[in-house]
Amino acid sequence: MSLTFDEYGRPFVIIKDQGEKSRLRGVEAHKANILAARTVSNILKSSLGPRGMDKMLVSPDGDVTISNDGATILEQMEVEHPIARLLVELSRSQDDEIGDGTTGVVVLAGALLHQAEELLDRGIHPIRIADGYEAACNIAVEHLREIADTVDFSSDNMEPLVRTARTTLNSKIINRCREQMADICVKAVMAVANIERKDVNFDLIKVDGKVGGKLEDTVLVSGIVVDKEFSHPQMPKEVNDAKICILTCPFEPPKPKTKHKVDITNAEEYNLLYETEQAYFGSMIKQVADSGANLVICQWGFDDEANHLLYHNNLPAVRWVGGVEIELIAIATGGRIVPRFSELDASKLGKAGRVREVSFGTTKDRVLVIEDCVNSKSVTIFVRGGNQMIVDEAKRAIHDALCVTRNLIKDNRVVYGGGSAEIACALKVSAAADSVPTVEQFAMRAFADALDEVPLALAENSGLHPIDTLTKVKTEQLASGNPHLGIDCLSLATMDMKNQNVFETLIGKVEQFRLAVQVVKMILKIDDVIQPSQYD
């Protein structure tokens, strides 16, 4: 703005500049968008594969998270650029739909954008690039289906599922326990799976954790683990043949919703108030006992008097149980959630073979374990670890393994990892591009080059020479016609990923290709970026 001064030297405004909007158009807009997206992609590239590096994320509060899971890293990064946020959403979509491959999908999208930038410099229109990418993606997906193998499994033969889950855990911080963790994840999924419908209800699988012990202490519980203890220290620590009353109403006298005041001026009035309260508590305890319950689980708190009466009436109780856990307990035990004491009856009680309080660790932490439930499909994976970061990372790794196992139950076809699927598809797309007479052939070759970025990153993160290693694998695939050859990240002296038991689900890889292309097409179609002025 311009200033002028009066005769006393005081400034005042004579004109206000109309702040122009910051605006990028055409190729400049495309390149700015691509730069933002590639910046995010390059951050994750070093975390790809079993030898990928971890990232340390420090929150504004000083909380530290160490992970190499792409979805977790992007979720906790403070990304401001709108195009970069698209890649965050891309990773989240892959995590929601598939549960694994969240790093690979972002690396692939970044590679596609890098190739698109070179095509833009050569004067190819963004729409022709997007069309070429779409055509190449269809060819690659069709080739994936051709080279996929079918794995046969059953409730008696779960080894194929375990091998696939083990592959998922190879790149995680808990890979030293991958055999045990993979076995736990597969058993948890099979416990709740409907094989005939090829459906898995994840709501029946609870993943809980507690600091203390070591990763090897992680167990699968056929039931529910609740991070609570009995409300009175002298209540029994174990209840057999439990009939559970599940309440969402507090063990407290009713409170008026309006302002109220009680004046007590003599002992008779005090005694009357005390007797009224005792009668109210006695009525609640009687209704619970008359229903036949021998265990009370309540979402809300207990008055001290109610807790004392529960103990004296031999009714073990648990208070302040969360709403999600209440629902899980109701599903597992076949009980009904009761909102009022007057609605209690024997038909609404949940049943469990045993409910016990377990203490562990030097600090005597306690949890409640509900086992042998009527609906035995509900299971809990109880994770242990030396500190909270290990427990959190173990939970994330277990989530990925659970999702991969679920995907294999939905579609039991697999492709092989180590970049072998990407290399095979790149060779197929390059060959197909030679028969395309239009300008889209350049975009198809660019798609093939972008697929090479995944094995290149795997080789680089494993300490190998990227270009030499990729060239060797490509040559071997062309010479032998074996699409299972990939990057030997673990130095096992064989490039055949089938022999190394490195599996990826077909639907996960297909979704990865399709999501990456969809987001890249969206970015390429943005040719005008308008940012409001600072004066608006």
Residues in the chain: 536
Name 203's Cβ contacts closer than 8 Å, sequence gap at least 6: 328, 331
Determine contact, residues 251/285, Cβ cutoff 8 Å: no
| Concatenated DSSP letters of 281-330 | HHHHHHHHHHTT-SEEEESS-B-HHHHHHHHHTT--EE----HHHHHHHH
| Chain centre distance of CA 455 | 25
CA distance to 219, 336, 343, per residue, from 314 (Å): 31, 22, 21
H or E element in which residue 361 lies:
none
258 classed as catalytic: no
User: Can you read off the two tokens belonging to residue 37?
Assistant: 């997206």
Side chain identity, residue 108: L
Name 302's Cβ contacts closer than 8 Å, sequence gap at least 6: 231, 250, 251, 252, 310, 317, 319
Cα–Cα distance measured from residue 103 to residue 84, given in angstroms and rounded to the nearest whole number: 14
Of 316, 155, 147, nearest to 241 by C-alpha is 316
Q: Which of 69, 95, 100, 488 is the catalytic position?
A: 69
Angle, helix 304-312 to helix 267-290, in steps of 10 degrees: 50
Cα–Cα distance measured from residue 21 to residue 535, given in angstroms and rounded to the nearest whole number: 9
User: Residue 356 carries which DSSP code?
Assistant: E
Determine contact, residues 155/195, Cβ cutoff 8 Å: yes
Q: Which of 65, 72, 103, 218 is the catalytic position?
A: 103
User: Can you read off the two tokens belonging to residue 85?
Assistant: 């946020």
69 classed as catalytic: yes
**Virtual torsion, Cα 39, 43, 48, 52, nearest 10 deg:** 160
Q: Which of 65, 72, 102, 167 is the catalytic position?
A: 102
363 classed as catalytic: no
Active site residues: 69, 102-103, 400
